[in-house]
């Protein structure tokens, strides 16, 4: 462990991880959402948060405008406690440029 000039252990600085910062391309965004749909298909809140992560990566203001929603209602719908309607999910997915897929279970 690194030590300071006084001989005390240096404190490690940590920062919260933000997945939105890692979603740089449409392919990465689609892969992230696809992973949620594949790994946790019953977790509607997690899928909504994943859409929120992608929306933050693309820009909430732009996504809200393209989805025909206010920025505030988009944040609220895709928040941890949000419960977006299916219409909102479809509008946001279209605004993000991602498609939802179905396959036999």
14 — pLDDT class (breaks 50, 70, 90): confident
Element (H, E) at 46: helix 44-58
- Per the prediction, the chain carries an average pLDDT of 90
Q: How many CB atoms lie within 10 A of CB 67?
A: 21
What structural domains does the chain harbor? Answer: 46-100 (1.10.260.40)
Choice between 82 and 9, residue whose per-residue pLDDT is larger = 82
Query: Hey, which of 9-18, 57-66, 96-105 has the most confident mean pLDDT?
Result: 57-66
- Give the CA radius of gyration of the chain: 18
| pTM value surpassing 0.85 | no
* pLDDT at position 7: 67
């Amino acid at each position: 462990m690194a030590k300071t000039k006084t001989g005390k252990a240096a404190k490690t600085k940590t920062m919260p991880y933000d997945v939105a910062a890692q979603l740089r391309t449409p392919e990465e965004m689609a892969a992230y959402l696809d992973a949620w749909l594949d790994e946790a298909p019953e977790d509607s809140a997690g899928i909504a948060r994943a859409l929120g992560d992608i929306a933050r990566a693309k820009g909430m203001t732009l996504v809200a405008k393209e989805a025909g929603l206010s920025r505030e209602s988009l944040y609220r719908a895709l928040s941890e406690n949000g419960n977006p309607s299916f219409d909102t999910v479809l509008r946001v997915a279209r605004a993000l440029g991602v498609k939802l897929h179905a396959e036999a279970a």
